[in-house]
Every structure is written in C-alpha cells, then in structure tokens.
Chain A
Amino acid sequence: GQQLNQSPQSMFIQEGEDVSMNCTSSSIFNTWLWYKQDPGEGPVLLIALYKAGELTSNGRLTAQFGITRKDSFLNISASIPSDVGIYFCAGQTTDKLIFGTGTRLQVFP
C-alpha cells in the first residue's frame, strides 16, 4: 500500500531552538495534514494544506505543501517544553488518510 516516509524519527533539542521535519511519498496527495499527539492522548490537528505550494502558519508552526504534491514540511520556531510529543503527517487519498510513522520531539530546558 501507499507509504509516507517521515523524518527524522526523533529529535532532541534545547528550548528555544527551531525544528524542521518532513514527509515524503511516492504518490501524489491532494491534501496534507499535520497532527500532534501528546502522551496518552489522541492526535490533534495542527495544520491542513490544500494546494500545492501552499505555505500556512499557526502560531509558531509553519507547514508547506510541496510543489510536486509528494512532500510536506513542518517547522516549529522557538521551541518550548509543551512542544514535546509525536508529530504525524498525513496525506489524503480518496476517502482515507495515510499517516507517516511520526517524529518524536523532546525539548530540554
């Protein structure tokens, strides 16, 4: 089946640093979504992207829908301790989402 390659698998950063993660696919997607999952909780939607080349921000988060429609990027600026969690990308195909394997983010004070 379709797969999304998400990298890096994990990141250990210091508070205040910027973070970048990305997702690539062999298939084209019409929509890219980014979710965050806190420990013991369900994923929460952060940003949705609907158009190739689109750049969208949500506070300190910025995400981009790649021009080829096969990739997406998420940046977090000036990280804070509550940014800790697992970040998932997801691509929309027909009536389903395909999820990446996640990037685990740890932030040290």
Chain B
Amino acid sequence: NAGVTQTPKFRVLKTGQSMTLLCAQDMNHEYMYWYRQDPGMGLRLIHYSVGEGTTAKGEVPDGYNVSRLKKQNFLLGLESAAPSQTSVYFCASSYPLTGYYEQYFGPGTRLTVT
C-alpha cells in the first residue's frame, strides 16, 4: 500500500497561472480532504469530499476548486494563482464508516506563486 500520494511535490507558478494538484489513495477510503498549511496557522481545510462525485467547502475555499470523479482520486485546482496561495498543501483521507475519524496524510505539495 502506498497510502496517500500527492503530485507534484514542488511547483512554482506565476500570478494568474492555473494548475491542478492530484491526490490519490489506495486504502478504499470514502472521505478525502485538502488542507493548506501556513507558518503559525496550523492546518486549514480548503475542500473535502464524503464520497465519489461529492464535494463540500471547508474553512478557506475561495480561489480553489475540487473534483472527485473517482473514489481514489481528489483533485485540487487553482484557476488563477495568487501570491496569497503560496503554501504547503496536504491531502488526507479517512474511512469514518467504521466509526473512526482518523485521517491519513500525504507528503505534501510545496507551491510558490510569484
């Protein structure tokens, strides 16, 4: 099991460019999440999905879109990148149908917007 994987690991964008971050999990988890981590801010939830074909907004959704076309994949899109979106992005997944809400995280994507 690879667990949760994220691509790419690093990316530099110019203001206004677009990109998609890919998260994949091989644990058959129902729920998937995208977070951003900034210094001193902890982890803030951007969007999440409770199943294939569903998405919902988290704490900081503005400027991002997501899609969950397949159960194992969760995509995070930036349509027009801004310097304020410079951050480390983490994907996570969980299987709360068992009654347990532990989330398992990927290694992160470090994004710089200039």
Contact = CB atoms under 8 A, between A and B. Distances in A.
Nearest to A4: B42
Interface size class of A (residues with CB under 8 A): 20 to 34
A33 B106 CA distance: 17
Given A31-B101, A41-B107, A41-B108, A1 B90 contact: no
Mostly, the A contact residues are strand
Nearest to A48: B102
B75 interface: no
For the complex of A and B, list the 5 residue pairs with the smallest distance between their C-beta atoms, beginning with the closest. Answer: A42-B105, A101-B42, A99-B43, A92-B101, A99-B42
23 contacts: A33-B101, A35-B105, A40-B108, A41-B107, A41-B108, A42-B4, A42-B90, A42-B105, A42-B107, A42-B108, A43-B43, A44-B105, A45-B102, A45-B104, A48-B102, A88-B43, A90-B103, A92-B101, A95-B31, A96-B33, A96-B48, A99-B35, A101-B42
